[in-house]
A = this chain, B = another copy of it.
């Protein structure tokens, strides 16, 4: 299903991962981002591309980041300010830095606290786009911890029974380490579909599926249709996960509010109280598995559990059952070998921006 939002093979041009990574680093540096943070930002974007999460990779996000640096909305040299701190918590002001670079730093703080007292929870305000939340959760998993990451804000999701958007798409990411199996990595918007995917479907001329968006009056559209029927506006009339009350939309809606509370209210971020359009906040947490029991036993148990999902008898029309993190792992192996498939239009953008920023490129 990841494929639905990827560039078709016959159009895609494969770009070597290292080459693309180097180029992204250079672009960040030209935007004024210090070298080590440029490397980190590129790593977050490339992780998304490598993992098949094309919606959050270079093709979909980098140009918006560049625009936001150029227009001074984002600060390329933010100074993270720990506003308040306890042994297991921190409230951070991101100083208008880009979220994809702020969040890993916040996660390192959470991990340090988890090592010391068992749990580390960090709420973050005043920070830009978070990128693929799964990346940040996986930092904890790679260190034998359970990792959480969420980001809230914006107005895209319509409350159950409502006729106007009052919440963002508000993704939840959660990662837990395995021993021999790929780590469990869940990362999903609490709308029935990620906002970026509606944009991508529009751009690729694909229709909306039933249950993705609402009609003008707020009633759930359960028929689907051409993207033209919904136009760009549909991205701001998204249905909660569950789509209709009967199918459980109050659950996607409720989880969406939960994300807003953890990201925005807990970080005392501007605009969350009154559901302002421009609000944004993040949340990361690390749980030391060692604090609860033996890490090796945990990881072996995780292996066995994930194996149980993989070996589930499939329903007709499918030959395999996946678990979150497994398809991304398989795509990573393939793309690290064969390169990242980019749309020719994205290659064109790279050529233009490199020329503009005077970066040598050989894509």
Binding site for B on A (CB under 8 A): 1, 83-84, 86-89, 91, 117-119, 121, 123, 146, 158-164, 166, 172, 174, 176, 184, 186, 188, 190, 192-193, 209-211, 214, 217-219, 241-243, 245-248, 250-255, 257-258, 260-262, 265-268, 272-275, 287-289, 291-294, 297-298, 300-302, 304-305, 308-309, 312-318, 320-324
- For A193, the chain B residues whose CB sits under 8 A away are 248
Complex: how many Å from CA A160 to CA B1?
11
- For A209, the chain B residues whose CB sits under 8 A away are 246-247
Q: Are B324 and A89 in contact (CB under 8 A)?
A: no
Q: Are A314 and B121 in contact (CB under 8 A)?
A: no
**16 A–B contacts from the bound complex (CB under 8 Å):** A87-B117, A88-B88, A88-B119, A158-B315, A161-B322, A162-B312, A166-B309, A174-B261, A188-B251, A211-B247, A214-B315, A218-B315, A241-B241, A266-B287, A268-B293, A274-B308
Complex: how many Å from CA A297 to CA B255?
22
Q: Are A176 and B261 in contact (CB under 8 A)?
A: yes
* Further contacts, 5 of them, CB under 8 A, given A268-B293, A273-B305: A188-B251, A192-B248, A218-B316, A248-B252, A261-B305
* A211 CB to nearest B CB, Å: 5
Complex: how many Å from CA A258 to CA B186?
8
Which one of B172, B219, B272, B291 lies within 8 Å of A305 (CB-CB)? B272
Complex: how many Å from CA A165 to CA B125?
40
* A201 CB to nearest B CB, Å: 12
CB-CB under 8 A for A316 and B219, given A188-B250, A265-B301: yes
Q: Are A186 and B89 in contact (CB under 8 A)?
A: no
- For A253, the chain B residues whose CB sits under 8 A away are 324
Q: Are A87 and B87 in contact (CB under 8 A)?
A: yes
- For A257, the chain B residues whose CB sits under 8 A away are 184, 186, 305, 309, 323-324
- For A267, the chain B residues whose CB sits under 8 A away are 292-293
* A312 CB to nearest B CB, Å: 4
Complex: how many Å from CA A252 to CA B188?
10
CB-CB under 8 A for A314 and B86, given A161-B322, A162-B321, A246-B211: no
- For A320, the chain B residues whose CB sits under 8 A away are 161
Q: Are B308 and A84 in contact (CB under 8 A)?
A: no
Q: Are A86 and B297 in contact (CB under 8 A)?
A: no
* A348 CB to nearest B CB, Å: 32
* A162 CB to nearest B CB, Å: 4
Q: Which 3 A-B pairs have the closest CB atoms?
A: A218-B315, A86-B118, A273-B301
Complex: how many Å from CA A56 to CA B258?
22
Complex: how many Å from CA A250 to CA B322?
9
* A105 CB to nearest B CB, Å: 18
Q: Are A268 and B246 in contact (CB under 8 A)?
A: no
Q: Are A265 and B305 in contact (CB under 8 A)?
A: yes
* A360 CB to nearest B CB, Å: 42
Q: Are A119 and B89 in contact (CB under 8 A)?
A: yes
- For A255, the chain B residues whose CB sits under 8 A away are 172, 186, 255
Complex: how many Å from CA A246 to CA B201?
13
Q: Are B86 and A291 in contact (CB under 8 A)?
A: yes
